[in-house]
Amino acid sequence: MSISRIENHFLEAEKILKEFILSGEIKNIETAGKLMVSSLKKGSKIISCGNGGSMSDAIHFAEELSGKYRENRKAIPAMAISDPGYLSCVSNDFGYAQVFSRFIEGIGNTNDILLAISTSGNSENILKAIDTAREKGMKVVGLTGKNGGKMGKLCDVEIRAPYSQYADRAQEIHIKIIHSMIDYIETNF
């Protein structure tokens, strides 16, 4: 691998980040933050989910809120659907398409927030999670990429990374969105 190929990763990331900043999506981060803070002030929680790298982002979001982001403060109620025992149990008994919706069915409540993350916007298990969240009276914030997929129109607030051929660029934007939302929540809750 040449230095120019490595440098190109950074130049592509810079281009996508600039596109995101100019796209107007930042206002959706604020809208999502307000929705989350309002829910938390009512005593509700945030449940996050995603597949692969998006699951890692869902975990990161929840641990920064329930643990610590930048400032010492009380824990904020957030959890990621990521327990391996749970995931393998539900996958075995009901199929992987049910892993997130089954969790929400069990512990989701009215006024809770679902943070659903899918770079394609078309993950079946994420779409089912959104349907179940709606049935439970939850609000949905979605992080998507490409064209938003089926998921985009199902969210109360969609925050979409600019189109890129590969998921890694969307994931890079998603982690910046996640840190911005955590900062908003930590500052306003």
146 Rama sector, left if φ>0, alpha if ψ -120 to 50, beta otherwise:
left
Is the per-residue pLDDT at 89 higher than 60?
Answer: yes
Kindly report the average pLDDT of the chain as a whole number: 96
Is the per-residue pLDDT at 110 higher than 60?
Answer: yes
The residue count for the chain: 189
| CA 118 centroid distance within chain | 8
**What is the distance between the alpha carbons of residues 104 and 135, in angstroms, rounded to a whole number?**
10
Predicted pLDDT at 133: 98
State pTM to two decimals.
0.96
Strand partners, 50: 117
Look up the domain containing 73 and give its range.
Answer: 3-188
Instruction: Report residue 165's pLDDT band, with 50, 70 and 90 as the boundaries.
Output: confident
Task: Write the CATH number for 8.
Answer: 3.40.50.10490
Is the per-residue pLDDT at 1 higher than 60?
Answer: no
Strand partners, 80: 48
Torsion angle (degrees, nearest 10) of CA 60, 78, 142, 166: 10
Residues sharing a CB contact under 8 Å with residue 50, sequence separation 6 or more, in sequence order? 56, 57, 58, 116, 117, 118, 123, 126, 143
Predicted pLDDT at 176: 97
**What is the distance between the alpha carbons of residues 1 and 116, in angstroms, rounded to a whole number?**
35
Q: Please answer whether residues 167 and 53 qualify as being in contact, where contact means their C-beta atoms are separated by less than 8 angstroms.
A: yes
State how many domains the chain has: 1
Predicted pLDDT at 20: 96
Instruction: Report residue 166's pLDDT band, with 50, 70 and 90 as the boundaries.
Output: confident
26-62: per-residue pLDDT in tens? 999 999 999 999 999 999 999 999 999 999 999 999 9
133-163: per-residue pLDDT in tens? 999 999 999 999 999 999 999 999 999 999 9
Tokens coding 189: 């809750």
Predicted pLDDT at 3: 80
Is the per-residue pLDDT at 19 higher than 90?
Answer: yes
Instruction: Report residue 88's pLDDT band, with 50, 70 and 90 as the boundaries.
Output: very high
